[in-house]
Structure 1
């Protein structure tokens, strides 16, 4: 994959640290995505290859003592050969994410306990030590190995560009509309439009019915990807809902307002509406609505790159899903777990849960959910560096989104396919995907898709 200018700037800082450090220096590299981690590792090695020898330390669940690994390294023939050549040596530590999973009898991490207990012994290692970890590991280190962490020189934090992977559809809650294909949605759209027209022509005004019909028309537009048009229907639905005094309906409307603004790239505004919806759901004891709003808040904060808040809301949504139960609740729970693990950089666990969510969606006939889970699986495999597999999942997802007329997620799949093909060196295919996605982005007024495609097309063609 191509590194951004922000990535390269931080790598320059890392290169400087490796070049100037002459004694024990501890630094962390926090990176969640294996594909990005691999690219960063390759680049930094190229930058310092004439000055610094990189000695790799591999840890795992059966190798939890970093100091013992380092002691073994400094006694090795490879180490001594580099010393004889007067080469500066730095240790790159991989696998701490796996090693910290092993628990001691007290339930804490054995690897982190050893880091804290044997901290002073690291003073015998007169070299730079770079520990490559994900967000989940960093959080655990802050809790269980604060003494060792206090010795760090710095933490280099790397992220995939926020818009590189377009996230899939939010949770629409309990509505049969999301199970319909494109033709069926168009039939429902004609039906509700006709009802509104007939009632208005006859001078009838039923606030509850008008609220419902406008709400459904807005959902149909949102499912098709036209968020700007959906907002107009939601505004009408809210106006009639306030007349009828139906708080459940008002909460649902605030929730879909949030989804529409999120699709338009106005994430902060989306969060405001999700929070208003959440307050009402809790007030009236609507657990289903509460879970939906919590899940969508998690997705919104993931768009902003706020990992801790993302996890916080997904975990709360999980509790609700477990309380409610049922097949759909089970699928939601697996999807939320996948999103949580993805936010922490635990891609294998994310994949495991997305696959379970996919099975549930297929079992209950939720084509929209099936397409979304295929997209999330594609993104997870991309992050693992398994680009061909990512392509496979996004291509399957595109078939479904076209069948059900979901323009937004069709555009999202095309964006992510373009990114995958570009990483595979298949530039013509990447351009084709970006151009198709750009047309969709302009049609449905999705700024995330538009900005990403325009930027990447300009980069490829320049």
Structure 2
């Protein structure tokens, strides 16, 4: 019996891993299918609370593809399980992800209020990575609400914290969005510098070849690279 339970747990973890591979390839429906099957695997393994992470991942992918009502439902399911489990860090991560649904739905005041609370909470839980990610989410909420100066300030703080923590991929995403915000503020030279730094970090992470990096930056206003699009 223990071997069978362990096998279902292994399958659930493998499906979760595969879902992120598919997400990085922009194969979102395939990623969703893997995660939905993983929910069943967790039940068969007798580990229903582990579904919280799967629900969160389903929320992230549904947010990326614009299925916002479904995304919100998955985040709420994840929060309920994490509330039962008493895991403040995990719950804070889910709430931070939910912010991206709110501003995409035009619920800017809720998004900004939640993001500010997220910053305060993460300052206690994780002063660098968690707080950096929370400042980035606050920047996203401000930017979508048209509050560009505040967005720039939040992104700048996020970049500093993520750089100090060594979280290069997250830093790359934040630098790109800071660049977009600076461009919209008319600060084109500064924007260009942020885009170049973002691409450099992604190239160092082997997300791009040198040629691909050059092609991305060939335009005065480059198109957002797919790895950035895959990030909340």
Match of 1:281 in 2: 42
Maintained 8 Å contact 2:8/2:44: no
* Cα distance change on mapping 1:341 and 1:390 into 2, 3 Å: same
2:180 paired with 1:419: yes
* Cα distance change on mapping 1:401 and 1:264 into 2, 3 Å: farther
Which of 1 and 2 has higher RCO (CA within 8 Å, sep 6+)? 1
Paired with 2:177 and 2:57, the residues of 1 have a C-alpha distance of 21
How many correspondences in the alignment?
A: 218
Paired with 1:413 and 1:358, the residues of 2 have a C-alpha distance of 16
Q: Give 1:320's match in structure 2, choosing from 81, 105, 118.
A: 81
Paired with 1:380 and 1:434, the residues of 2 have a C-alpha distance of 20
- SS in structure 2 of the partner of residue 388 of structure 1: helix
- SS in structure 2 of the partner of residue 402 of structure 1: helix
Match of 2:230 in 1: none
Match of 1:439 in 2: 200
Maintained 8 Å contact 1:435/1:453: no
* Cα distance change on mapping 1:330 and 1:302 into 2, 3 Å: closer
Maintained 8 Å contact 1:419/1:430: yes
Alpha-carbon shift at residue 344 of structure 1 (Å): 2.0
**Superposition CA RMSD, Å:** 3.1
* Cα distance change on mapping 1:451 and 1:355 into 2, 3 Å: farther
* Cα distance change on mapping 1:336 and 1:416 into 2, 3 Å: closer
Maintained 8 Å contact 1:438/1:454: no
* Cα distance change on mapping 1:320 and 1:452 into 2, 3 Å: farther
Match of 1:355 in 2: 116
Paired with 2:78 and 2:4, the residues of 1 have a C-alpha distance of 30
Alpha-carbon shift at residue 454 of structure 1 (Å): 5.5
More strand by share: 1
Match of 1:253 in 2: 14
Q: Give 2:28's match in structure 1, choosing from 261, 267, 273.
A: 267
Maintained 8 Å contact 1:314/1:340: no
* Cα distance change on mapping 1:460 and 1:370 into 2, 3 Å: same
Deviations 1:155-206 (A, max 9, x none): xxxxxxxxxxxxxxxxxxxxxxxxxxxxxxxxxxxxxxxxxxxxxxxxxxxx
Unaligned runs of 5+ in 2: 223-232
Paired with 1:321 and 1:453, the residues of 2 have a C-alpha distance of 43
Deviations 1:117-147 (A, max 9, x none): xxxxxxxxxxxxxxxxxxxxxxxxxxxxxxx
Match of 1:143 in 2: none
Q: Give 1:294's match in structure 2, choosing from 55, 68, 75.
A: 55
